[in-house]
Structure 1
Amino acid sequence: MKPSQTTTTITATPKYDQRSVIIQRADQVHSMPIGLSEQACSESCKQLNLILADSIMLYNMYKKHHWQMSGPTFYQLHLLMDKHANEILKTIDLVAERIQTLGGVSIGMPHDIVEITNIERPPKDEEDVPAMLSRLIRAQSTVIDDVRKGIEITERNKDYGTNDMLMSEVLRTHEMHIWFVSEHLVDTPLIGEESNGQRK
């Protein structure tokens, strides 16, 4: 007599009626065998999610200003805004993946980001160029403050992987950006003008 066989029907038809099952709450971390305590991972993830939220806000602000640049330096600033946005996007991915590596949950949806960000919300309207650049510098300074706090937390908890990422990848990127943007706010005369504004 042959043993009974169970036949499983496999179909290529997608199962569209899937329902969400929460497998980990956003404020929890699960154990990862990386030599760090759950508390250390939790503290890192909390700070990293703040960095993530502020970085996503900053990225979108750069794109907004990229589209809305105007005036005699339009082309240069249009390109610079996009370059900085793309570089910030790379750090966003690094931070989000580090949170997951630590056993945490990376935030990413706009409504969640708005709830925790420290960055001032820009107006829907188009501003003058100096105001946009100043706004970017303030926002970028906020991210730098977040990152420096993260460096302190991870140093204290010996989370060296996160510490190295924040110092070598994230902090230096934002510091460089502030330098580049700040130089566009220096009040220097255009070529062919004296310092008092009179033509040569």
Structure 2
Amino acid sequence: MATTPTELKTPTDLSGNRTKSAADALNGVLADAFALYLKTKNFHWHVSGPHFRDYHLMLDEQATEIITVTDDIAERVRKTGNTTLRSIGDVARRQTIADNDRDYVPPAEMLAELREDNLKLVHRIREAREAAEAAGDTATSSMADDWIDQAEKRAWFLFEASRNA
């Protein structure tokens, strides 16, 4: 990670390479959150079939929850004196959740793919939480617990909604 310009130096009692490692991990979570948000909106816009209304509304609610957490993640990175993502290219370089550009995805596949992606996000948040704990950043660790709970709930809803799909 490059040195932070003087203008961006945020006062914090956290410092060192472990804090930078935690920020890098959070930026990875942020990239995946943006990728998951866009995929969720994509499926929201393109869902079809007999459960259209239910899926359409659920995916919109989930997308809103995901985009809301992105600001919390980015602000947490900044509060620790680090810099965060700056562009779509930065997201693309860091994301591990794959895009889905298919012209048509059956609704059952949409739900299954989003369920697995939310569980991947949970895993990545857990890794970031561990990095934050190693840096003594208890605030990030605490916030990560909420982010994990939200992603697990989304995965659960997607699982339950797909049982008869």
1:174 aligns with 2:145: no
The structure that has the greater radius of gyration is: 1
CA displacement at 1:108 relative to structure 2: 4.1
2-structure distance, mates of 1:41, 1:156:
8
Root mean square deviation, CA, Å: 1.7
Share of identical aligned residues, percent?
A: 27
2:95 maps to what in 1? 117
CA displacement at 1:29 relative to structure 2: 4.4
2-structure distance, mates of 1:108, 1:132:
29
For CA contacts below 8 A with separation 6 or more, give which structure has more relative contact order: 2
1:80 maps to what in 2? 58
What is the number of residues matched between the two proteins? 162
1-structure distance, mates of 2:11, 2:26:
19
Which segments of 5 or more consecutive residues in structure 1 lack a partner in the other structure? Answer: 1-25, 189-200
TM-score normalized by structure 2?
0.91
Preserved CA contact (<8 Å) 1:45 1:104: yes
CA displacement at 1:116 relative to structure 2: 1.5
Cα shift readout 1:50-93 (whole Å, capped 9, x = no counterpart): 00000000000110010111111100110110100001111101
Per residue, is there more helix in 1 or in 2?
2
Structure 1 outlier segments of 4+, above 6 Å: none
Cα shift readout 1:7-37 (whole Å, capped 9, x = no counterpart): xxxxxxxxxxxxxxxxxxx644465432212
Alpha carbons of 1:34 and 1:67: their partners in 2 closer, same or farther (altered >3 Å)? same
